[in-house]
């Protein structure tokens, strides 16, 4: 006790004025990079690109730019070039060039007073300065006033000399080249496919702007350009689906703001509402999406009721969004985003604006297009009837399913701990593997839920059928969060949801079916980083007293070449073939196992991939598999 007291007294004395550290310039960004770009992994790395490209898009929104070139360079750097006005290089009140101030000071930019930019995606003035801070080197070139200006920055945004003239030009624009700092980012390799998905969206959202993406490493190049904007975007989103009508489209302006909406229903059961604010993908929704949902439900309900299409039911929000694909794009002067990564819109007044505009425009469209209106209302009414059938089916399944204490599935072998951060639920294929897993597990924190073979493909099934499936009900009950609008992450029973299937074609198909269920009915679990796929070994190599597990044919060949001689090779046909000790050592022991975390890098692209892989259209699926068979990843 005396030692503790002395230690506290010492700490109190040492906490003085010198303890208060002032981080100069961009030091704060380097100290806490995740505060500014979300993470120091793959997502954060690509956020750097988006910050630079968003500045070029802001020039396009202001009417000064129609060409953006993005190049992944051979030396690991990335270049973004636009033909906008060029960052001002004139002397700033600080005595330095305006460009140096913009690229080395936080909260310095031309987007605060709305004189240079009325509408902008980058509003905090920290975008490119953060990219500079998190780069080993950055080169900024500006074409302006007939001159090409350049300034070089190194080691986290420190200028190497002043802005200098390096030539003459009759063009205008800005070019930013940067090398991300590998002492900060765990990954510094840019992903062509990730950038491709984002730039396709940007081209659709900014009709008339050409975006060129080039990868010098892979020798690939693609150009994006859209004249039709949202109408082309929604057709592209639904290209793998059977649509019920031509797209509904409207655009309204108010108080220097623009609301643009495209709506199209397909004969499926999944919803896809994609919200954008100043071209930023608000993946977590916000007030604009809430206002749109409210108006959509009201207008369709009113139309169906007025035309006597409802049979003792009312249409809910879930009903009107079944089979819906919709894009909601806002361009507003003062968006209030939650956080620098801008995933949710918070402006309270926007909900009412979008609700009012959508209600008026959609009601007018329905009056002028009764055939389309009738198809949509019939689809939603059928969804309401199916929902009632699903509710009755759920209740019936719950009564029939053998339940243990606490209302959990009888097949679930639960763990004893209830601490969320340390508990794990293994979803296991088959009774045989389930038996091995139950013996192999650590009962303290690992729970096992065996499934009978392949679950229902929810991409093709109506909710009534989905919720009539005993296996799916067991899975949803074990996870605990509920689904759809009733989803509540606080009711999650396990910190990790782990899919553990055989390392063969059937096992991969079962994994895909489970992932489809989670993505369509509980996507928040994936967004929260709670879903994993266990990587099971294909072979066990034994030579003398040594045993080695390998996970692919390529790895087997390399291992055998290294070991030499004639070791004993055992091929695992499935998890059920492993004894509990082998299963623990390879796939369940936290110290040795290999997991792949399932992520959704882009909601638009993920929706498209699931529709393509699990839907009815064969052509796009064949093309996708041919393109990705050799480089397939489980990250989504």
Contact 198, 224 (CB under 8 A): no
Q: Alpha carbon of 88 to those of 110, 160, 195, 329, 609: distances in Å? A: 10, 19, 28, 30, 42
Q: Other C-beta atoms within 10 Å of 553: how many?
A: 10
Active-site hit among 504, 527, 555, 601? 504
Structure tokens at 384: 């309401």
Query: What is the distance of C-alpha 240 from the center of its chain?
Result: 20
Nearest one of 345, 57, 78, 47 to 201, comparing CA atoms:
57
Is 504 an active-site residue? yes
Is 635 an active-site residue? no
Radius of gyration of the chain (CA): 28
Nearest one of 263, 435, 444, 464 to 361, comparing CA atoms:
263
In whole angstroms, give the CA distance from residue 533 to residue 634.
Answer: 8
In whole angstroms, give the CA distance from residue 441 to residue 593.
Answer: 13
Q: Alpha carbon of 255 to those of 250, 276, 333, 470: distances in Å? A: 17, 18, 9, 53
Q: Alpha carbon of 90 to those of 95, 100, 106, 159, 262: distances in Å? A: 10, 10, 19, 16, 43
Please, what sign has the CA dihedral across residues 433, 436, 440, 445? positive
DSSP track, 143-195: EETTEEEEEEEETTTEESS--EEEEE-S--EEEEEEEE-TTT-S-----HHHH
Contact 596, 562 (CB under 8 A): no
List CB contacts of 378: < 8 A, sequence separation 6 or more.
309
Q: Other C-beta atoms within 10 Å of 609: how many?
A: 17
Q: Alpha carbon of 415 to those of 301, 447, 460, 588, 616: distances in Å? A: 46, 5, 34, 14, 39
Contact 184, 55 (CB under 8 A): no
Is 429 an active-site residue? yes
Active-site hit among 388, 506, 527, 601? 506
Is 502 an active-site residue? yes
List CB contacts of 122: < 8 A, sequence separation 6 or more.
51, 54, 55, 58, 109, 111
In whole angstroms, give the CA distance from residue 438 to residue 417.
Answer: 16
Active-site hit among 429, 471, 585, 605? 429
Alpha helices in 226-369 (DSSP H): 230-237, 287-306, 317-320, 348-368
3-state class of 543 per DSSP?
Answer: strand
Three-class HEC string of 549-585:
EECCHHHHHHHHHHHCCCCEEEECCCHHHCCHHHHHH
3-state class of 416 per DSSP?
Answer: coil
DSSP track, 274-302: EEEETTEE-TT-BHHHHHHHHHHHHHHHH
Active-site hit among 82, 502, 585, 605? 502
Write out the catalytic residue numbers: 429, 502, 504, 506
């Amino acid at each position: 006790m005396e030692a503790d007291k002395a230690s506290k007294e010492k700490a109190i004395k040492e906490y003085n004025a010198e303890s208060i550290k002032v981080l100069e310039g961009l030091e704060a960004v380097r100290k806490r990079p995740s505060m500014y770009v979300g993470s120091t992994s793959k997502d954060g790395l690509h956020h750097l690109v988006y910050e630079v490209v968003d500045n070029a898009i802001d020039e396009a929104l202001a009417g000064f730019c129609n060409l953006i070139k993005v190049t992944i360079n051979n030396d690991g750097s990335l270049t973004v070039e636009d033909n906008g006005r060029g960052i001002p290089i004139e002397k700033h009140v600080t005595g330095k060039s305006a460009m140096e101030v913009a690229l080395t000071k936080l909260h310095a930019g031309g987007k605060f007073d709305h004189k240079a930019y009325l509408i902008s995606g980058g509003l905090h003035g920290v975008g490119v300065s953060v990219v500079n801070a998190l780069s080993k080197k950055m080169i900024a070139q500006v074409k302006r006033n007939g001159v090409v200006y350049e300034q070089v920055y190194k080691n986290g945004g420190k200028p190497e000399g002043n802005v200098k003239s390096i030539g003459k030009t009759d063009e205008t624009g800005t070019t930013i080249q940067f090398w991300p700092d590998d002492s900060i980012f765990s990954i510094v390799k840019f992903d062509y496919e990730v950038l491709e998905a984002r730039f396709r969206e940007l081209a659709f959202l900014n009709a008339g702007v050409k975006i060129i993406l080039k990868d010098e490493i892979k020798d690939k190049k693609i150009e994006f350009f859209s004249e039709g904007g949202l109408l082309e975007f929604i057709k592209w989103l639904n290209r793998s689906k059977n649509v019920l009508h031509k797209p509904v489209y409207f655009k309204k302006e108010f108080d220097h703001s623009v609301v643009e909406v495209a709506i199209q229903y397909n004969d499926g059961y999944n919803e896809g509402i994609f919200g954008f604010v100043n071209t930023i993908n608000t993946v977590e929704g916000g007030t604009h999406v809430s206002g749109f949902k409210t108006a959509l439900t009201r207008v369709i309900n009113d139309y169906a009721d007025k035309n006597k299409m409802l049979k003792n039911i009312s249409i809910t929000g879930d009903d009107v969004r079944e089979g819906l694909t919709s894009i909601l794009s806002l361009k507003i002067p003062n968006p209030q985003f939650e956080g620098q990564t801008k995933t949710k819109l918070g402006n309270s007044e926007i909900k009412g604006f979008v609700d009012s505009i959508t209600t008026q425009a959609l009601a007018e469209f329905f009056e002028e297009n009764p055939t389309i209106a009738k198809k949509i209302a019939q689809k939603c009414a059928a969804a309401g009837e199916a929902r009632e059938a699903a509710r009755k089916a759920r209740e019936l399944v719950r009564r029939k399913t053998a339940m243990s204490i606490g209302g959990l599935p009888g097949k679930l072998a639960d763990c004893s701990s209830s601490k969320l951060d340390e508990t794990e639920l293994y979803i296991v294929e088959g009774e045989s593997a389930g038996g091995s897993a139950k013996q192999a597990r650590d009962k303290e924190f690992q729970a096992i839920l065996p499934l009978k073979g392949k679950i229902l493909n929810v991409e093709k099934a109506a909710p009534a059928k989905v919720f009539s499936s005993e296996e799916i009900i067991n899975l949803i009950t074990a996870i605990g969060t509920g689904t759809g609008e009733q989803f509540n992450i606080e009711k999650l029973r396990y910190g990790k949801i782990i899919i553990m299937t055989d390392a063969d074609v059937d096992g991969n198909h079962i994994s895909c079916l489970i992932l489809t269920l989670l993505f369509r009915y509980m996507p928040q679990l994936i967004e929260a980083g709670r879903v994993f796929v266990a990587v099971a070994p294909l072979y066990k190599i034994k030579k003398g007293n040594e045993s080695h597990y390998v996970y692919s044919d390529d790895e087997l060949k390399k291992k055998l070449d290294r070991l030499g001689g004639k070791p004993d090779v055992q091929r695992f046909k499935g998890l059920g073939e492993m004894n509990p000790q082998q299963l623990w050592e390879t796939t369940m022991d936290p110290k040795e196992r290999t997991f792949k975390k399932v992520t959704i890098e882009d909601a638009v692209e993920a929706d498209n991939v699931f529709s393509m892989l699990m839907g009815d259209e064969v052509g796009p699926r064949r093309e996708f598999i041919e393109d990705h068979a050799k480089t397939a990843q489980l990250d989504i």
